[in-house]
Structure 1
Amino acid sequence: MTFNDYLLAPSHLALSSGFFGFYSHAATSAALWEAGYRPSSISGASAGALIGCLLACGLSSNAIAERLSLLQRSDFWRPGIGLGLLKPDGFKATLRQLVPQRRFEDTETPFSVSVYSVKERGTKVISSGDLIDGVFASCAIPFLFHPQRMRGDLLWDGGIKDRPGVAGVPDDGELLYLHIPSKSPWRRHVPLPERVRTTRLAVHGLPRSGPSKLALGPTIYGLAYQAVLAQMQRPYESVLNIDAETR
């Protein structure tokens, strides 16, 4: 069985957090969709929540790639007084322009995000209610963005306690987990999901993105896309560590 064969069977999709890792997630998912993959549900944290939202709302791979290629720092860099440097206005306005849906219940594919609850000091899963607020909360890196206020709670980046973004994955069925490798010494040893019937995919060797490195986006996208596409006709393995530079 090839990796492409595996993708034609039903599975849930989880997308990990990763600092400005949405270029890698977008490219990987584009290759998966081109191979015919369509998940039963989608969950994610932080960058994984952002791309997961676009996928769950039915945006095409081309539309996602085009918007990311045009992304500028000014789209989300809106400093303001609060518990963080940046207000949520720019992020939310950009997301509203991309997707017509406004509630989790309206997405084309069942969708959930992980967020960090200050009140509960742990991960919460959001799968209903305001879609834009929920996705922003999952992406709200502490002290870079203001937290999302929701029902008397302060919500921050879902990757704080659930870096893999798997808290909302249904218990049944296969799971395809897209992992963004971290170059941080504090993040390298975060445990991957321990769950039976899980396939883990990670693309290594990609340039590191960030608020001041958005120009690297198209390069990251191209490398990740070609690396995953080259894997399709190779034998299926439950752990796929793909090198973007040597393939």
Structure 2
Amino acid sequence: MNATELLAAHFKANPHIITGKVVDINAITDKLYQLDFTEANAELTPGLVTNTSAFSNWVGQKLSNCNCRYGIGGYMEHRTVYTRSALFNTGNEPRRLHLGVDIWGDANVPVYAPLNGMVHSFADNDHFGDYGPTIILKHDLEGLTLYSLYGHLSRGSLSSLSKGQTIKANQQIATFGNAAENGSWPPHLHFQLMLDIGDAYGDYPGVGYYSEKDKYLQNIPDPELILHFAELIKY
């Protein structure tokens, strides 16, 4: 049983665990755009993805053209966009496998905790291509420990946090950061779930080695179990 199957079974066995929202969304009126950051997308030229302003404009135009509130995608996606930063090119194999889900939108979009929990850790991972401001929450789900990570936040999101702070489901915890503070990316949220994070503090890999995909699947559940976005993807 992989991590997604384990978490899905746990939710089914404990139906009183109600998941909340991560971003504001109206299931009746909102539409989502599925963004593709794999080599199959010929629009993602090196000149585009290395130019943060041009990259941001490209994402914004995609959403505007289809009147979509957010762009979505990325879980276990083998991406080419990480060529933009040396951060992902260390070692014998470059890191290209995206481990969470990205929600693309405007800077300052509110971010919420979908489950009751506590602040495990937070940090400003301030490097080109990195998360920028990051929050990790810890959730005790009736005997199953789950961690949720929120990356590419605004710096103000970290200002009133403390380790061990109690967080309630649907409580606003952050906002999307802009490119000047979020690791130089178009505004978006990296949302990721983990069953175990070891001794990680304020940071946990959001991009891994494609050759280790099977290993990641044992620890990193599909965020769709919480987001419930599949039916809202229109493009």
Structures share a fold, TM > 0.5?
A: no
Which band: TM-score by shorter chain? under 0.3
| TM-score, normalised with respect to structure 2 | 0.28
Q: Which one has the bigger strand percentage?
A: 2
Q: Which has the higher helix share?
A: 1
